[in-house]
Chain A
């Protein structure tokens, strides 16, 4: 875990758990606010198509940078023997820097964060599936919610898009968020 984040030349300390939690809360609230606002602007038209990849990618990169070794290619450096294949040698450095190799405790944190995130994704995917099911089987939709189908025929399309956006955002950021949220206060770098 990094204790400091450098953004545009400004160094911000992230040793305090409270500050990390604020960052996580602000990022998630910001994403939800953007989705809400863009709905009112153009009903998730061009506002989401063009800008949403940035809104997903930038927080994911910041989180990954903060959690550092938990989520990066360096994790893959934990090889017992030097890679022999052409692809292996291309992907993994022959002599990994030992300081970059995560310890057992760090790996435990990483894996556990993914375990909990996995269940959130599962629920989301189930929901996406239900929406696609609805979209496909209009007769079932009509049978289950006739009033809703008649009054709001576009509701499934938009819901599907919204849920898929939130789900992808969660997939990109959730394990890092869990680590940032639950990791206790760290010591300042000397």
Chain B
């Protein structure tokens, strides 16, 4: 976990858990704010499709960068023997730096955060499935029972879109969010 964030030349200490939680809240509130704002601007048309990856990736990159070596390719460096396959040699360095490798405690934090995030993601997928099923069912009903179909407000394209956007954002940010939220206060780095 990084203890300092350099943003446009300014150094922000992240040692305090309170400050990390504020950043997490701001990132998530910013994404929700963007979704709400863009709905009123053009009903998630251009703003929802062309520009949405921007706040999504900005939030994900910021949180990923803050959690640092807990997430990312460095976590793959924990192997016992050097890679022998072609893909293994391409993906993993032959001699990883010991400083880049995660210790047991950090691995446990990382895996536990993914465990909890997995539950949230599964629930979101279930909702997505219900919406997609309803959307399809509507198509069948419109053919068979047009009167019934007109009474059901389900299968809404906008709801589906919004749910998918939130799910994607959660998929990119949730483990980092949990790590940043629950990791206790850290020591400030000492300058020698």
Contact = CB atoms under 8 A, between A and B. Distances in A.
A140 B46 CA distance: 11
Interface in B105-128: 108, 110-112, 114-115, 117-118, 121-122, 125-126, 128
Nearest to B112: A111
B130 to A, nearest CB: 10
Given A112-B111, A115-B110, A115-B114, A168 B125 contact: yes
Interface in B80-114: 108, 110-112, 114
Interface residues of B, number: 31
Nearest to A112: B111
B136 A49 contact: yes
Given A110-B115, A164-B132, A122 B161 contact: no
Nearest to A137: B49
A165 interface: yes
B121 to A, nearest CB: 6
Interface in B150-192: 157, 160-161, 164-165, 167-168, 171-172, 175
Contacts of B118: 114, 117-118, 121, 171, 175
A126 interface: yes
A58 interface: no
16 contacts: A44-B136, A45-B140, A111-B111, A111-B114, A111-B115, A114-B115, A115-B110, A118-B114, A118-B118, A121-B121, A126-B168, A132-B164, A137-B49, A164-B129, A167-B125, A168-B129
Interface of A: 44-46, 49, 108, 110-112, 114-115, 117-118, 121-122, 125-126, 128-129, 132-133, 135-137, 140, 157, 160-161, 164-165, 167-168, 171-172, 175
